[in-house]
Amino acid sequence: MSRAKQNIAIIGAGPAGLAAAEILAPTALVTIFDRMPSVGRKLLMAGRGGLNLTHSEAMPGFMERYGEAQPALRAAIEAFPPTALIAWAEGLGQEVFTGTSGRVFPRAMKSSPMLRAWLARLTGIGVQFRIRQNWQGWNEQGALVFEGGHTETPAATLLALGGASWPRLGSNGAWNQYFAPAELAPFAPANMGFTVAWSDMFRTRHAGQPLKRIAIRHADRIVPGEAMITARGIEGGVIYALSAPIRDDIAAHGSATIEIDLRPDLSLEALQSRLPTARGSQSLSNFLRARAGISPVAIGLVQEALHQGAHADLATLIKALPLRLDAPAGLDRAISTAGGLRLAALDEHFMLKSRPGVFAAGEMLDWEAPTGGYLLQACLSTGHAAARGILGWLERQQ
C-alpha cells in the first residue's frame, strides 16, 4: 500500500520557499503561507535590473564569495550548483545567456515570465498558496500560529522568511522575535550604498549621475565597475562588491576611505604627461575634460576633493581620489541582509536544533554574498537542501 502524503508548511513565498516546494510536492502535501497579497515580490523587484540568476565563475572562486558561511553552504550549493540552476531555468522555458562579466541572465532580462512559469508548475504539482497569512510563531503545543488566531500542525515546517532589507516587499525581519537571542546574529545591511558629506553644489549638480569605467580600492582590494552618485552618497555595483569590508571598517573606525581611479585604463605616468602644470586660461573643468578625458561628474569629484584640501597633483587625484564614507545606507535600501538565524543553530540538514521538524533556508540565514548571481543561487540551493532534509527527517520518523 502507498504511504499517505504528509502535510508540510512553508512560511515565505520567496525563491527559497518556492524552490523547496518544488522538491517536496511530488511526495507531500505542500502549503505555502505568505503575509503579502502576492508572492515573489522581491524576486520581481530584482528582475527590474535584469534578474541575475547565477554566475559562471569556477566553483572554488564561486564559493569564496560566501566568506565565513562557505563551510555551511558548500554542500547545498554543490548539490544544486550554477549549472543545475541554469538547467532549471531553461526547463521553465527561460533561455539564458552569460554576460561578459560572467553573470548569467534570462534572455527576457526580467523575472515576471520566469515567476509565472514557476508558479504554474508548482500549482500543477499540487502546491497550495495561502496569501495574507502572517505567521506569529508557535503556541505551547508547538503548532504554527497565524494572525487572527488560526493554527496549523504540519508534519514538518520550512521557514523561508527572508532577511530584513526592502521591508515593503515583505521581508521585514520581524520573525526574529520568535527565536532565542543565542540563535540570532544582528541584522546589518549588505550590498548597500554609503553616505558621503557632499557639498551642496556637488549634490545639486551631480546626484543621479553614473560614474562609469572606474575602479575602487579599499584596503588591499581593487574592484572595477560602475557607481552611482546619490543625493546622500554613493552606491552601485562596484560599491556593493566592497560593501561588507567597508561596513566593517566603518563599524571599527567610525568612517572608511576608498580611493577612486577615474581612469583605470591609463597609468599615472601617462596621465602626468597629459596634464602639464600650467593650464593657461582654461578653466579646470575644460582642462580636465580635454586633457584627462573624464566626465563632468568625475571632474566634480576632483573639484570636491580640491575644495576639501586635497594636496595631490591632478594626475594623482584622478588615479587615487580619496572619498570618505561615513555610514552604510539603511536596511530599507540595502539589496540584501547580513545577520539573521545563525547557521550554527541548524544541523547539517538545515533543521533547527531547538525545534525538530522545523527547517530554515534562504536569506533569513546568517550569510551574505556580493551581487552577481550569488544571492539567488544560495537561496535556491538552501531551499533544495532544506527540502531534502525534510524528506529525510520524515522518513526517519516513520
Does the global pTM surpass 0.75? yes
- Ranking 184-193, 228-237, 240-249, 275-284 by mean pLDDT, the lowest is 275-284
Please check the confidence at residue 265 and state whether its pLDDT lies above 60.
yes
Q: Are residues 181 and 222 in the same domain?
A: no
C-alpha triplet 333, 70, 252: angle, nearest 5°: 55
Q: Are residues 183 and 205 in the same domain?
A: no
Q: Are residues 301 and 366 in the same domain?
A: no
Residue 16's closest CA among 3, 28, 34, 29?
A: 34
Please check the confidence at residue 395 and state whether its pLDDT lies above 80.
yes
pLDDT of residue 280: 76
Please check the confidence at residue 201 and state whether its pLDDT lies above 70.
yes
Please check the confidence at residue 278 and state whether its pLDDT lies above 80.
no
Give domain status of residue 74, yes or no. Answer: yes
Percentage of the residues of the chain whose pLDDT score is greater than 90: 92
pLDDT of residue 48: 80
How many separate domains does the chain show? Answer: 2
C-alpha 381/C-alpha 85 separation (Å) is 9
Give domain status of residue 67, yes or no. Answer: yes
Q: Are residues 52 and 180 in the same domain?
A: yes
Q: Are residues 93 and 149 in the same domain?
A: yes
pLDDT of residue 1: 43
Give domain status of residue 247, yes or no. Answer: yes
How much is the average pLDDT of 274-287?
86
Among 328, 350, 369, the domain-final residue is: 328
Give domain status of residue 1, yes or no. Answer: no
**Span 135-149, pLDDT tens digits:** 999 999 999 999 999
**Span 290-310, pLDDT tens digits:** 999 999 999 999 999 999 998
Among 328, 349, 381, the domain-final residue is: 328
Give the residue, 64 or 46, on which the prediction is more confident.
Answer: 64
Give domain status of residue 263, yes or no. Answer: yes
Domain residue limits at 283: 194-328
C-alpha 192/C-alpha 334 separation (Å) is 5
Q: Are residues 179 and 203 in the same domain?
A: no
Calculate the average pLDDT of the chain. Answer: 95
Among 311, 328, 345, the domain-final residue is: 328
Per-residue H/E/C for the chain: CCCCCEEEEEECCCHHHHHHHHHHCCCEEEEEEECCCCCCHHHHHHHHHCCCCEECCCHHHHHHCCHHHHHHHHHHHHHCCHHHHHHHHHHCCCCEEECCCCEEEECCCCCHHHHHHHHHHHHHCCCEEEECCCEEEECCCCCEEECCCCEECCCEEEECCCCCCCHHHCCCCHHHHHCCHHHEEEEEEECCCEECCCCHHHHHHHCCCEEEEEEEEECCEEEEEEEEECCCEEECHHHHCCHHHHHHHHHHHCCEEEEEECCCCCCHHHHHHHCCCCCCCCCHHHHHHHHCCCCHHHHHHHHHHHHCCCCCCHHHHHHCEEEEECEECCCCCCCEEEEEECHHHECCCCEECCCCCEEECHHHECCCCCCCCHHHHHHHHHHHHHHHHHHHHHHHHC
**Span 89-110, pLDDT tens digits:** 999 999 999 999 999 999 999 9
The total number of residues shown for the chain amounts to: 398
pLDDT of residue 2: 52
How much is the average pLDDT of 340-348?
98
**Span 16-63, pLDDT tens digits:** 999 999 999 999 999 999 999 999 998 998 878 789 999 999 999 999
Please check the confidence at residue 289 and state whether its pLDDT lies above 50.
yes
Find the CATH number of the domain harbouring 85.
3.50.50.60
Q: Are residues 238 and 150 in the same domain?
A: no
Q: Are residues 227 and 110 in the same domain?
A: no
Percentage of the residues of the chain whose pLDDT score is greater than 70: 99
Q: Are residues 279 and 361 in the same domain?
A: no
Q: Are residues 283 and 350 in the same domain?
A: no
